[in-house]
Structure 1
């Protein structure tokens, strides 16, 4: 980003701060709705009687009705199954009238209301994380999709990967491998790979599939998001942020047991309690233990998750929360099948054409990887004034893994090689983040802003051990018939070979970022909002350390700016809005050609890559939150991609480009009492627009399917039939995906054709039935109802599970 753009960014922010309009003849109404036990009442409708003014309470029970004409009104609080409350109030010009209301119902009674009511249980209308300020989704110029805890309960979800199948346009390329450094699952968003590296808005890396026991909800924040989150934890397609459960001020909780196909057994506990009489000290514990086997002839997973959290309220102004996550897992890795040659040489171009029994793992025993995560978090919230708050966050994420890994190479003539290596490693990431958040008036305009900064440092190592002679191939077999030495490929044999090997490679990483950022949202009018933000990022890569020579190589330092702009116009205030945004992100490019004999490459430091997104669309939250959703079109252009120099194959130039554009849509609705719907669709057109001849103008194999769709429909029978009984059905569709997509070239480098390998399209359906009562819940679910054979992957063929059954029972207290 050049200086002129940076100056324009700062100028616009200054204009936002200084611009003012004369006061209008309107005011606001706000307040908090609580229950008889003093807990917040969420998703309660608040309206001004005989008008179109209305709002819905958030998770803290707070509501706000803006831009109300001066006059006297009657506030009406209503929800299914609770006693309606009315209260008179007067609205004055330029003032906010406050009305705090206590309902007669307790939390337990409200839970019963949720069970039988018609509220939109799959919708969450706040967007605090994506903007770092209190902002409704309809006010936010950026798109984010939320998977609520209620949706996860209805689907009997136990892990993050399954939960994210409810996000439009998010495709899981492969699951968690457990490897140190990159063991978490990989996804595609808007044509670019991403991982789930963010927890409550800061670093929270887990190198396995995150357990759902401690998840309150998950946000998928779309598009380049480096302005607020940096480049380390995000990708050009967006980021995934898991928001965890927090302690609250009463005793309560839940225990749950599940069992199902292929030896699946799982137990969880969620216990919350105040620790003193005045409820200033609060404690919550979430824990889970899970064991399962693979649908293939070998494969298993056994894990334990433990997440305590403690909140102490020092005063009305200062609150501190200390949290931890402990995760242990013993599991076999993914059964990955790579292409050992080009599809043309193999003679197969589609995974559906493989004459292979996918219930055979090709392993003679379980190859177990041991994974551990130890993560700690401290958050301090301080109310500086009525208009400003301070948030200080310190995190430490520690991961380690060790074990032999296996994979397969698909070859010609029905051959498959079986391969193994040993790996171990650890990583530690520490982050300190400070945010100052303001919500104040400039004249008659509401202005919300965050000024913040963070310091992030990560360090790690990995050790790869090869089979003797720097080999990894154990043998080659015919995968279509009987294999006499099938069981010879086992962990005991491979571990003995690795223990006797002197062929290994050790790598390390050591880098940090120091960043400052600002984001501002200004209500020019009650319906028109404009936003701007910018980030300055200093990246320090300390290179690789060689212990044998006590030397370090490849160190470099870079600076980058990342701006963002947005505008929202509410066609119908708080119900329908048009939005547009420009967002920027960047990536520091590590020189992978260190050691080259070319003086233009060896030791060179490339400029950061940059991605620029332009997006526009419409959002809705209508009919008292019964209908919400968004539709948008985006265009992302990436520049400064490092590619091979066409005039010198051993050198590199940084002039590559990529274009990714598409449409995303999501709807959540509760049109009638008891019926809840969530559905999404995404279309992505991605191609390398300036790249090596072999892939130029082609869709990258990392982009996933071009079309994705998801839906889930849940219906709870009316109370006068069988109270608490409900049904659910849903699924996912993905069009075909290319895991190999190359131009074929003649000796002069001219394109003569194309060689591809396809993972076929799929439609997977799931169904559930549940019986939900205030004190207990029973759920039964069928996954992959039609027993479809389907795959995911981006360089690999990863077969997915066939039809499975799982049942669960919960007791609430």
Structure 2
């Protein structure tokens, strides 16, 4: 036995020694690729022709190809918008061959080429996702909505059609243009901005205005591992615009139906001759009416960014975003009808809001300070901190009673007052809120080899403190039982019970009824191991999270958890990869629960498999994924609770599973496509709530979702620059946002949009038409406690015309 063990040990040592000797005999090729003006060329493919040896240039333009067999090679450079470059090099044993390149193209030229050649497809995630790997090789479904997509579709905020570009993403509960609240894979996903989780309560954050947004990353499945706590269903990460080092600017003007007017400005440039001090400034002003009377939503935005390149290795960036919204009270967009009637029984432009109510205004501040330091071409340290401040002062509207109904006014019998069908007692409540978030991150990215195995290492620490407080305790019925509001004969004069007189002057901390807070600290490490010249990649990771939670409804408590992560990705060819993933999530929860119920952090796990394929030299890409998600201890709205005093219950366990398919990119020159389909199913496996049965369908998603957006621009001839677009969204098997199904299901949904554009020189004109078929589109739910349906309609056929000028 000892002889056998010794023999095995000897063979293992001999094997390691052989690998080490091989590594010592191999050579290395490195260098830097620059554009005109000595600006680093990022994302340029560098390869040794006819071999598997390759690399992609970093942000600083550097590349490095290790473990190259000695010999003479042809080195080739390829990239979007550049002419292929070739040269001869000689690689010697145990030596480093340095080869630098200077390209004649400028960054501005390349940016224009990227937009024209491949405007809907992005191959690399942002720095804020902390990954060093191309999307094709990441063992997870990540979809990126490019900045050009946002422009072509005339998207102005996160709630303005972004999700049509991602499979399985829906907003069944629209919340107007106040909160995004996206559902994906059977649950509401987390909202991130520049890698920070910006959710401080169920109702936030304020939808981001697109004026300062560069692109949006949708990460399917658990992503809280490296981006602080997150939901097992996924997240969206809004990446804001940063200085590029190219002096340029753009001003755009939009106008459209229902008194929609908007102007935005984007300035990008240098503050010194050497280009070390850069700036970016974005601003916007918007006046927006509605197809419903008495309703508006106006926005004002400023977003300056300053970056300073201290030296070749160190960079400092400061950013500030400010959004101000002045709007009709929250809930003005909802319409209510009795159970006997069902959905959409009133005209599409009907409103229950009361003219004369004061506006609700919101201030959304966010500031970021980021420090980046490269120790060398393989190791980089990033530290960033942020502060988010959210202030809301205003009102929310919701009915107290929907007729027909009998009301007990003296406590003796239920026949004192009778509301006829169509009679409603409208109620207005105060909604003043204040939120503060202090968030910090520090992480290290590194690359190194052990023998023939490559490593991409990620490790870091997250710290955060969040608090949210709100006054929901003051309310006022606008109407009386003797003189109710009737939806069939509406009277918008002074309400019968007068206007509310709420106390906004007492400090919010003294009158707030909803107090929520959390603190967390986490540490994580991930290693992506590459085998067989990085054809096979294994991801091994773990995260430790400690969370402390406070609320006005229960005492402070803390918990901690270790969540593992295992992933594998294999490149069948350079453009075709398969992957598998197992991941866990750990997410704090806060809410108002019934006595005796204990709130625990949400835990969940995800198993996912997928295929990713790039076509025709990366011009367009496809991805197919299947997944199974289990979630435990999730808080959900009590089916019998009143939204004016929301109560949550601990559900138990639920499962979501489905299939997702996405395609995006350039089909042929001038023809670009975004299309997707998702099948989603989510059910309750175990229930702690008597009114929610095992096997029940979880609310808040659509079983089938399909989207497409096709854009074609003429490349030649007298009409060069003329383009046309057509897009559609289809939803079927829509679930409401409450556990009370009512007698009527939400119908299937189909929306068709399209547009025309013309670009010549520095000017581009775009005209889009939305809801071309002029369908009565809506989302909604049934409330059992109110015995009524409510819905929010979308606008009839409407248009927007815009002119953009680049300088």
Report the alpha carbon displacement of residue 498 of structure 1 after superposing the two structures with TM: 7.2
Q: Which residue of 1 aligns with 2:164?
A: 165
Q: Which residue of 2 aligns with 1:430?
A: 438
Report the alpha carbon displacement of residue 283 of structure 1 after superposing the two structures with TM: 1.3
Relative to structure 1, the CA distance from residue 496 to residue 528 in structure 2 (aligned partners, 3 Å threshold; closer, same or farther) is same
Is residue 696 of structure 1 aligned with residue 676 of structure 2?
A: no
Is residue 403 of structure 1 aligned with residue 394 of structure 2?
A: yes
Separation in structure 2 between the aligned mates of residue 340 and residue 720 of structure 1, nearest angstrom: 56
Contact 2:611–2:623 (CA<8 Å) still a contact in 1?
A: yes
Report the alpha carbon displacement of residue 496 of structure 1 after superposing the two structures with TM: 3.5
Contact 2:427–2:477 (CA<8 Å) still a contact in 1?
A: no
TM-score w.r.t. the length of structure 2 is 0.84
Separation in structure 1 between the aligned mates of residue 126 and residue 246 of structure 2, nearest angstrom: 25
Q: Per the alignment, in what secondary structure is the counterpart of residue 702 of structure 2? A: coil
Relative to structure 1, the CA distance from residue 254 to residue 473 in structure 2 (aligned partners, 3 Å threshold; closer, same or farther) is farther
Q: Which residue of 1 aligns with 2:372?
A: 381
Q: Which residue of 2 aligns with 1:762?
A: 749
Q: Which residue of 2 aligns with 1:213?
A: 211
Q: How does 1:434-445 map to 2 (within 5 A)?
A: 434-445=442-453
Report the alpha carbon displacement of residue 37 of structure 1 after superposing the two structures with TM: 3.7
Is residue 677 of structure 1 aligned with residue 682 of structure 2?
A: no
Report the alpha carbon displacement of residue 103 of structure 1 after superposing the two structures with TM: 2.8
1:551-610 Cα distance to aligned partner (Å, 9 max, x none): xx511111122211101111113x11110000111233447446x3xxxx2xx7544331
1:85-125 Cα distance to aligned partner (Å, 9 max, x none): 3333345689886654333233454455446x5x3221111
Q: Which residue of 2 aligns with 1:87?
A: 87
Report the alpha carbon displacement of residue 475 of structure 1 after superposing the two structures with TM: 6.8
Separation in structure 2 between the aligned mates of residue 266 and residue 94 of structure 1, nearest angstrom: 61
Relative to structure 1, the CA distance from residue 628 to residue 572 in structure 2 (aligned partners, 3 Å threshold; closer, same or farther) is same
Separation in structure 2 between the aligned mates of residue 493 and residue 638 of structure 1, nearest angstrom: 47
Is residue 361 of structure 1 aligned with residue 351 of structure 2?
A: yes
Report the alpha carbon displacement of residue 448 of structure 1 after superposing the two structures with TM: 0.9
Q: Per the alignment, in what secondary structure is the counterpart of residue 144 of structure 2? A: strand
Separation in structure 2 between the aligned mates of residue 76 and residue 428 of structure 1, nearest angstrom: 51
Report the alpha carbon displacement of residue 51 of structure 1 after superposing the two structures with TM: 7.4
Contact 2:682–2:698 (CA<8 Å) still a contact in 1?
A: no
Q: Which residue of 2 aligns with 1:4?
A: none
Of 460, 465, 470, the residue aligned with 2:468 is: 460
Segment of structure 1 superposing worse, 278-287 or 604-613 = 604-613
Separation in structure 2 between the aligned mates of residue 523 and residue 434 of structure 1, nearest angstrom: 25
Separation in structure 1 between the aligned mates of residue 176 and residue 714 of structure 2, nearest angstrom: 41
Q: Per the alignment, in what secondary structure is the counterpart of residue 718 of structure 1? A: coil
Structure 1, unaligned stretches of length 5 or more? Answer: 1-17, 546-552, 646-650, 744-753
Q: How does 1:535-574 map to 2 (within 5 A)?
A: 535-544=543-552, 554-573=555-574
Segment of structure 1 superposing worse, 215-224 or 615-624 = 615-624
Of 238, 241, 257, the residue aligned with 1:242 is: 238
Separation in structure 2 between the aligned mates of residue 720 and residue 106 of structure 1, nearest angstrom: 27
Q: How does 1:127-166 map to 2 (within 5 A)?
A: 127-128=125-126, 132-161=130-159, 162-166=161-165
Q: Per the alignment, in what secondary structure is the counterpart of residue 300 of structure 2? A: strand
Separation in structure 2 between the aligned mates of residue 684 and residue 158 of structure 1, nearest angstrom: 28
Is residue 524 of structure 1 aligned with residue 531 of structure 2?
A: yes
Report the alpha carbon displacement of residue 330 of structure 1 after superposing the two structures with TM: 0.3
Is residue 726 of structure 1 aligned with residue 723 of structure 2?
A: yes
Segment of structure 1 superposing worse, 281-290 or 535-544 = 535-544
Separation in structure 1 between the aligned mates of residue 542 and residue 62 of structure 2, nearest angstrom: 30
Report the alpha carbon displacement of residue 527 of structure 1 after superposing the two structures with TM: 0.7
Q: Which residue of 2 aligns with 1:496?
A: 501
1:297-352 Cα distance to aligned partner (Å, 9 max, x none): 221011110001111111222211010011111012343547788xxxx2245x2x
Q: How does 1:303-702 map to 2 (within 5 A)?
A: 303-332=299-328, 333-337=330-334, 346-348=339-341, 351=343, 354-365=344-355, 367=357, 368-408=359-399, 411=403, 413-467=421-475, 476-479=484-487, 481-483=488-490, 485-489=491-495, 493-496=498-501, 506-525=513-532, 526-544=534-552, 554-573=555-574, 575-590=575-590, 592-593=592-593, 596=595, 601=596, 605-641=598-634, 656-691=652-687, 692-702=689-699
Segment of structure 1 superposing worse, 326-335 or 70-79 = 70-79
Q: Which residue of 2 aligns with 1:122?
A: 120
Report the alpha carbon displacement of residue 728 of structure 1 after superposing the two structures with TM: 1.5
Q: Per the alignment, in what secondary structure is the counterpart of residue 153 of structure 1? A: helix
Q: Which residue of 2 aligns with 1:187?
A: 182
Separation in structure 1 between the aligned mates of residue 31 and residue 39 of structure 2, nearest angstrom: 14
Segment of structure 1 superposing worse, 696-705 or 67-76 = 67-76
TM-score w.r.t. the length of structure 1 is 0.83
Report the alpha carbon displacement of residue 401 of structure 1 after superposing the two structures with TM: 0.4
Of 794, 804, 807, the residue aligned with 2:801 is: 807
Q: Per the alignment, in what secondary structure is the counterpart of residue 372 of structure 1? A: strand
Contact 2:36–2:106 (CA<8 Å) still a contact in 1?
A: yes
Q: Which residue of 2 aligns with 1:10?
A: none
Contact 1:590–1:606 (CA<8 Å) still a contact in 2?
A: yes
Contact 1:556–1:605 (CA<8 Å) still a contact in 2?
A: no
Of 222, 225, 234, the residue aligned with 2:223 is: 225
Report the alpha carbon displacement of residue 453 of structure 1 after superposing the two structures with TM: 0.9
1:224-270 Cα distance to aligned partner (Å, 9 max, x none): 22222233xx3221111011111122321111111111111111111
Across the aligned residues of Structure 1 and Structure 2, the Cα RMSD in angstroms comes to: 3.7
Report the alpha carbon displacement of residue 30 of structure 1 after superposing the two structures with TM: 6.6
Contact 1:639–1:658 (CA<8 Å) still a contact in 2?
A: yes
Relative to structure 1, the CA distance from residue 366 to residue 149 in structure 2 (aligned partners, 3 Å threshold; closer, same or farther) is farther
Report the alpha carbon displacement of residue 184 of structure 1 after superposing the two structures with TM: 2.6
Q: Per the alignment, in what secondary structure is the counterpart of residue 164 of structure 2? A: helix
Report the alpha carbon displacement of residue 197 of structure 1 after superposing the two structures with TM: 3.5
Segment of structure 1 superposing worse, 628-637 or 157-166 = 157-166
Q: Per the alignment, in what secondary structure is the counterpart of residue 671 of structure 1? A: strand
Relative to structure 1, the CA distance from residue 504 to residue 700 in structure 2 (aligned partners, 3 Å threshold; closer, same or farther) is farther
Contact 1:174–1:185 (CA<8 Å) still a contact in 2?
A: no
Segment of structure 1 superposing worse, 769-778 or 26-35 = 26-35
Relative to structure 1, the CA distance from residue 20 to residue 788 in structure 2 (aligned partners, 3 Å threshold; closer, same or farther) is farther
Relative to structure 1, the CA distance from residue 79 to residue 742 in structure 2 (aligned partners, 3 Å threshold; closer, same or farther) is closer
Contact 1:71–1:92 (CA<8 Å) still a contact in 2?
A: yes
Contact 2:142–2:218 (CA<8 Å) still a contact in 1?
A: yes
Is residue 262 of structure 1 aligned with residue 258 of structure 2?
A: yes
Separation in structure 2 between the aligned mates of residue 500 and residue 428 of structure 1, nearest angstrom: 20
Separation in structure 1 between the aligned mates of residue 260 and residue 442 of structure 2, nearest angstrom: 42
Separation in structure 1 between the aligned mates of residue 93 and residue 498 of structure 2, nearest angstrom: 81
Relative to structure 1, the CA distance from residue 792 to residue 277 in structure 2 (aligned partners, 3 Å threshold; closer, same or farther) is same
Is residue 297 of structure 1 aligned with residue 303 of structure 2?
A: no
